[in-house]
Amino acid sequence: MDGQPLGLVERRSRVEAAREALVGISQVLYQCSGAELAEVMGEVDSLVALSAAARVAVTAEAVGRGEVEAAGVNATAWVRDHAPSLRQGGAADVAAIAGVLAPTGARWGGGDAAGPDVDSPEGIVADAVVSGVVSPGLGCAGLREMTRLGPFLREEVKPTVVRSMLELGVAWGPGMLRRLRPRLLAEYGAPGVFDDLQERLASAARLSAPFVESGDLTEYQLVMTPEQAAALEAAIGPLSAPAPNDVTGERDVRPLGQRGVEALAQVCQRSSSLDGDQHGGADGAAGSAHAVHVIMSLEDLQARTGCGEVLGSTATGTMLSPQVLRRLACEADLIPHVLGTAGEDLDLGRVVRLFTRAQRRRLLRRDRGCTYPGCTAPAAWAKAHHVVHWVDGGLSDIDNAALLCQRHHTLVHQRRHVAHVLPAPDEHGRYVVWDLTPGSYDRHLEHLRAERSANDPPPLTPERLRSLVLALQDDDPDEQRWARYELHESWPDDPWPDDLELEHWWTPAVASDDTATNGIPTNRAQPV
């Protein structure tokens, strides 16, 4: 019997024996050593591979004999009917390879089959599957790639390409075949094919319109050529890397996707800033050449609650939180549209001017880079942050500015950190020292407001107004100057109340264009 092929009965008997051996195998695996477990895994895997090959052979025989056609179904359905385990997936791959071995309508007899040419891509794939070296799924992936690549490859290299793809697919999985496509075209493609492909890819590159639901994330679909992708990766790659802080000991726990989005936004913002620097703007402001229009209610603006809605772009309808609006007031041109309770336009604010180009140059020389402790981001990638936020009355002055990278600019707004700008560098050469205690900014703001309120002039009561008017009539120039200053600082913006009507106790004598009698301001002009 040695050397003679096994007959059908013997093969089926051995298949049954193998099946019985595998049933309940989990109950005896405790008897295996570690090395034996590895051996059993390899043996079971070999059986699985051969079983997959046998499925293909059985299906090909059924197709070739016409059994599938007679059943009134296609090959995939036939496989699902008779191999229930493949109903979870994989039946289509078995049917596809079987169709290569025995095209529909062919008839086999006596084990002889008119299969594909053994040197053709189809024949090479089918042989690898039937021998158990390649799974039906990998075999189908190889055939799909050859369908795409075949017209662009030199004829003599096709067998080599197919065998190479299958070998790499066995080692790295089917996903490797797709990644090999550009390299295979470059090395084995017909002359000029790869260049033509690159040009065609450019016409297919696209950036979709933004899709966003109110208050939700904005979704774009970006399809790029290899050249464009390389440029993008070169720009955002270094910025997307995790950035742990060696000084504070903080780990960068942002996921990869979040780091990538923030890096892309930083690149875009940097590009806009450069454009603004080149073209300039009113008042010599540096920054984006385009302004962000935001609509908000007067109540929300005053209470710093609610949200603002972006207007006038493809991002229309996007809602921005007060915290984000505060940050935008530092880093982007912002035009607020303030609405009253009835929805009427109360005010269309001018563009919130950023630090001027001259100021930014001074900041670049002073801070050298991001001022957040432990950050090494260069100055070119940093933004001018208002230490006292613009919405809280902070001025766009050098003494109220600190350079921050995008990540830490967001962080200091989230954690409410405050910085102290020094008139001269400290022992470490720093002009900006950060208080990283959470909420330090709010405590600093309360202190500033307390100082301002302590220096506010007293209320403009009838008695005080009478004394100021009398001081204006005094012969002493210092008394007059003091009275004009006090009136300027205390003059109410609202209409006069009834109890402050001047005509009840004082009659004007002299008037000018800018002041009422004796220098009482009518247009709040600066005192002399």
Residue 165 lies in a domain: yes
Residues 24, 135 within the same domain: yes
Give the integer Cα–Cα distance in Å for 351 and 135: 64
Our count of domains for the chain comes to: 4
Q: Which of 152, 167, 190 is the last residue of a domain?
A: 190
Q: Which residue range(s) make up the domain with 44?
A: 8-190
Residue 509 lies in a domain: yes
Closest to 145 measured CA to CA, from 164, 118, 172, 171: 164
Q: Which of 430, 450, 470 is the last residue of a domain?
A: 450
CA-angle at 36, arms to 35 and 41, nearest 5°:
105
Residues 212, 68 within the same domain: no
For β-strands 345-348 and 382-386, DSSP reports them as: unpaired
**How far out from the chain centre does Cα 465 lie?**
59
**Contacts of 170 by beta carbon, 8 Å cutoff, 6+ apart:** 133, 134, 138
Residue 260 lies in a domain: no
Give the integer Cα–Cα distance in Å for 44 and 75: 27
Distances (CA, A) of 196 to 153, 179, 203, 315: 13, 19, 11, 36
Residues 45, 164 within the same domain: yes
What pTM did the predictor assign? 0.43
CB-CB contact of 457 with 490 (8 Å): yes
Residue 338, classed as helix, strand or coil, is strand
Strand ordering across the sheet containing 345-348: 319-320, 308-311, 292-297, 334-339, 345-348
Residues 94, 16 within the same domain: yes
First to last CA, the chain: 123
Residue 383 lies in a domain: yes
Give the integer Cα–Cα distance in Å for 324 and 99: 60
Q: Is 66 left (phi over 0), alpha (psi -120 to 50) or beta?
A: left
Q: Which of 123, 156, 190 is the last residue of a domain?
A: 190
Residues 107, 214 within the same domain: no
Residue 166 lies in a domain: yes
User: Burial letters for 109-144: b for 16+ Cβ neighbours within 10 Å, e otherwise?
Assistant: eeeeeebbeeeebbbbbbbbbbebebbbbbbbbbbe
Residues 322, 415 within the same domain: yes
Give the integer Cα–Cα distance in Å for 287 and 230: 27
Closest to 446 measured CA to CA, from 388, 406, 514, 489: 388
Give the integer Cα–Cα distance in Å for 261 and 218: 11
Residues 102, 223 within the same domain: no
**Contacts of 390 by beta carbon, 8 Å cutoff, 6+ apart:** 326, 329, 330, 352, 396
Residues 482, 418 within the same domain: no
Per-residue pLDDT of the chain (528 residues), as tens digits, is 456 778 888 888 888 898 888 888 999 898 989 899 999 999 998 998 899 999 999 999 898 888 888 999 999 999 999 999 888 888 999 999 998 887 644 443 444 455 677 888 888 998 899 888 899 999 999 899 888 888 888 888 889 989 988 988 888 888 888 778 777 877 788 877 766 766 677 777 888 887 876 667 788 888 887 767 777 877 787 778 887 887 887 888 888 888 888 888 878 777 665 545 544 444 444 444 455 667 766 566 556 666 677 665 555 556 666 666 666 666 555 555 656 555 544 444 444 456 777 788 788 888 988 999 988 888 877 888 889 887 777 777 888 899 998 888 888 988 899 999 998 899 988 999 999 999 999 999 888 888 877 766 666 677 777 777 787 777 777 777 777 766 666 655 444 444 444 444 444 444 344 444 444 444 433 333
Give the integer Cα–Cα distance in Å for 421 and 397: 11
Give the integer Cα–Cα distance in Å for 399 and 392: 16
User: Burial letters for 215-228: b for 16+ Cβ neighbours within 10 Å, e otherwise?
Assistant: eeeeeeeeebbeee
Residue 134 lies in a domain: yes
